[in-house]
Chain A
Amino acid sequence: MGTINIQKTKSIDQVNTQERVSRLFSRSIKKESKMQALYLALSMIDLTTLEGKDSEGKVKQLCYKASHLHYKHPGLPYVAAICVYPPMVPIAKKELAGTGINVASVATAFPSGMADINAKLDEVKSVVDAGADEVDMVISRGRFLNGDYDYVSDEISQVKDACGKAHLKVILETGELVTLDNVQLASDIAMEAGADFIKTSTGKVSPAATPPVVLTMLEAIRDFQIKTGKKIGMKPAGGISTAKQAIQYLVMIKETLGDDWLSPNLFRFGASSLANDILMQIMKQSTGQYQSKDYFSID
């Protein structure tokens, strides 16, 4: 990769970004279109479990949930993928066989990214060999904040090579990048280095996906498409737990990138509790009664 020219990125207007976010988020999506949005959002979920205490049983349960969201409401879509730690990939792969649901695995010393590059590449290769369809890597934020952009860029392209056919999602961990300018720069670096998706957060750092950060990344994707013709996907993750937030993000993406991105191929939600909230909303829309968590399976 060539040297990254930081001069070319224009500075982000923070006030304007905030203003645009609040305008987009005040849109009201009701009835028919709300139902459509809820179904769409369900199909975009990367159902995630990334905990130290994850067990085989928990992953199996999550995989079952992925294709059986709510038995009382037939015709629901499947979620897009299951996102797990590397040792859980073979289990998830086996459980999801025949469903068409992808297995995504975090790799590259998730969530800190603090490991030797060779160790990271070995980890990526091993999850791909184990059958992962998608790899979620983290960038080296320490190096990035030190201004070592070449290192970050080279690392991403090496990981991309190691991925082979698997899709690569690059986690910027925007909660540690401090400014929107940094978010934009990191997005550009990741996309130029070969990311298929850029993703906001690991979910382990607060703040996770905030609306201004997501908008900044979407605009970076738009600019990259104009420049290169390539369509890069987007995945906000962490802190998205309500159907309302999900619909707000769908509005934002439609207005920023257009209809092509309203598809699980180019947009994902990284979430664990979002699915149930969307299901509760769908049941509310179809029965007229507000729902209770008691009647939905825990994932």
Chain B
Amino acid sequence: MSQRIDIQKTYKLFIGGKFPRTESGRYIKWTDKKGTTVVNICRGSRKDFRNAMVSARSASNGWSSRTAYNRAQILYRVGEMLEGRREQFMAELTLQGLTNKQAENEINQSIDRLIYYAGWADKFQQVFSRVNPVSLPYFNFTLPEATGVVAAIAPDDTSLLGLVSIIAPVIAGGNSIVILASESRPLSSISFAEVLHTSDVPGGVINILTGYRSELIEHFSSHMDVNAIIYCGNNPDDQKLVETNAALNVKHVIQFPLQDWSNDKHQSPYHILKCQETKTTWHPIGV
């Protein structure tokens, strides 16, 4: 039998449940530690982000109006699908510099995190809702509701765990998200999109872009249709830019400086609450 030809994977973007190439036609050569070019990664553009935002916005209502239980089921399903693709993620994570042991840990924790937030998806609303005592003839209650569309700059130092830790609480809370994957370790993000694709996550709820932070952060933070922005990183200029641009339409700003994403503090229902709006209702009752 003749020698087989290598089949190399094309890493594309994930927008609206589809895998388009960047509209700009640009790419980034991704090299391993030895400097060998391994794959070409899409260099996402401002317009890719715009398209992703349109998808995220149109998916947002449908997702937030699903039952919380159904969102929980879908998140659990993402965990299941990730479990079934261990080998692929092992290969990619080690290629991106992790040891076998570290890679295994990262996959385990990513799955656990998805299952953790799947559990909270239909519980946080009860836990964080409350009845307020008012001295008027009203039944007064407060509950959290999805903010809408979240734009996020994923942590750069982890390929999978950081991405999952940002996405899971956001969508558990009924938001849709556009996330820019790690610039230096982008491989697992697009493979994770394949996991999402087979997990009944409706198209547009999660959109994953690859590309340069420096190029896209301006657009992520200034887009008027973004309701909350998550920034992971320590660059003071970026932090300032995000805060300044967020003021244009008063986006929520959530910053995560460089940190260890394997820490248990990243599993908390309070992370879901970060991308929620508080709604208080005054319901008239008899005097």
Contact = CB atoms under 8 A, between A and B. Distances in A.
Interface of A: 288-295
Nearest to A289: B222
Interface residues of B, number: 9
Best-buried of A288, A292, A293, A294 by chain B (most CB within 10 Å): A292
15 contacts: A288-B222, A289-B222, A289-B223, A289-B224, A289-B248, A290-B50, A290-B53, A290-B219, A290-B224, A290-B225, A292-B223, A292-B224, A292-B225, A292-B249, A295-B249
Nearest to A295: B224
A289 B222 CA distance: 6
Contacts of B248: 289
Contacts of A292: 223-225, 249
Nearest to A283: B224
Contacts of A288: 222
B9 to A, nearest CB: 30
Contacts of B50: 290
Contacts of B223: 289-290, 292
A172 B137 CA distance: 60
B52 to A, nearest CB: 11
Interface string B231-259: 00000000000000000110000000000
A44 to B, nearest CB: 24
A85 B32 CA distance: 66
Interface in B187-245: 219, 222-225
Contacts of A289: 222-224, 248
Nearest first, the 4 closest Cβ-Cβ pairs linking A and B are: A292-B225, A292-B224, A290-B223, A289-B222
Given A289-B222, A291-B225, 10 more contacts: A288-B222, A290-B50, A290-B53, A290-B219, A290-B225, A292-B249, A293-B225, A294-B224, A294-B225, A295-B224
Interface in B50-68: 50, 53
A290 B249 CA distance: 11
A295 to B, nearest CB: 6
A245 to B, nearest CB: 14
Contacts of A290: 50, 53, 219, 222-225
Contacts of A291: 224-225
A295 B227 CA distance: 13
A294 B224 CA distance: 9
A294 B250 CA distance: 13
B54 to A, nearest CB: 10
B180 to A, nearest CB: 15
Best-buried of B222, B225, B248 by chain A (most CB within 10 Å): B225
A290 B54 CA distance: 11
B50 to A, nearest CB: 6
Contacts of A294: 224-225, 249
Interface string B19-55: 0000000000000000000000000000000100100
Contacts of B224: 289-292, 294-295
A289 B50 CA distance: 10
Contacts of B249: 292, 294-295
Contacts of B222: 288-290
A295 B53 CA distance: 16
Best-buried of B50, B53, B224, B225 by chain A (most CB within 10 Å): B224
B3 to A, nearest CB: 42
A294 B248 CA distance: 13
A289 B53 CA distance: 13
B141 to A, nearest CB: 26
A141 B105 CA distance: 67
Contacts of B53: 290
A291 B223 CA distance: 6
A66 B225 CA distance: 24
Best-buried of A288, A290, A293, A295 by chain B (most CB within 10 Å): A290
Nearest to A288: B222
Nearest to A293: B225
A208 to B, nearest CB: 20
Interface string B109-144: 000000000000000000000000000000000000
A290 B151 CA distance: 13
A294 B251 CA distance: 13
